[in-house]
């Protein structure tokens, strides 16, 4: 996985926490060289209890509510699914790998 400079990671995290989700997704997308996913608030049938869900065929991240959009763990997790589906064109990777991506992104070591 590509290494992101710590300054940029901090900027991305701050934009998420500040509720600037569009900016955060644009920065992530540019850094990982993928299209910027769409996003919306709502639920997805079969995933109603989930904080977030990525709909691959629509290239859309669905957040359960506006507060969840300020949670870096959820945003990064769902962005990972978008990134992997954009690169491989066949599935958005596993939740285990998404969690690993989030841990690396949030760590003080380069991700």
Strand order in the sheet with 38-41: 38-41, 60-63, 52-55
Q: Are 61 and 38 in contact (CB under 8 A)?
A: yes
**Where do the domains of the chain lie?**
6-106
| CATH label, 6-106, candidates 3.30.70, 3.30.2010, 1.10.12, 3.30.1460 | 3.30.2010
Residue 60 pairs in a beta bridge with 38, 55
Which pair of structure tokens corresponds to residue 56?
Answer: 């691959």
Residue 61 pairs in a beta bridge with 39, 54
Across the chain, how many H-helices and E-strands are there?
4, 3
What percent of the chain has a predicted confidence (pLDDT) above 70?
87
Q: What is the pLDDT of residues 37-63, one digit of tens each?
A: 999 999 777 666 788 999 999 999 999
Which pair of structure tokens corresponds to residue 11?
Answer: 């900027």
Q: What is the pLDDT of residues 20-42, one digit of tens each?
A: 999 999 999 999 999 999 999 99
Q: How many residues does the chain have?
A: 111
**Consecutive H or E run containing 6:** helix 6-17
């Amino acid at each position: 996985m590509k290494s992101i400079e710590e300054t940029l990671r901090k900027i991305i995290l701050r934009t998420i926490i500040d509720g600037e989700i569009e900016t955060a997704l644009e920065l992530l997308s540019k850094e990982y060289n993928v299209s910027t996913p769409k996003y919306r608030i709502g639920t997805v049938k079969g995933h109603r209890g989930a904080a977030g869900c990525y709909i691959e065929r629509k290239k859309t991240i669905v957040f359960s509510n506006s507060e969840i959009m300020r949670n870096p763990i959820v945003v990064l997790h769902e962005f990972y699914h978008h990134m992997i589906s954009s690169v491989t064109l066949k599935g958005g990777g596993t939740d285990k790998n998404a969690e690993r991506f989030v841990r690396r992104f949030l760590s003080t070591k380069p991700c």
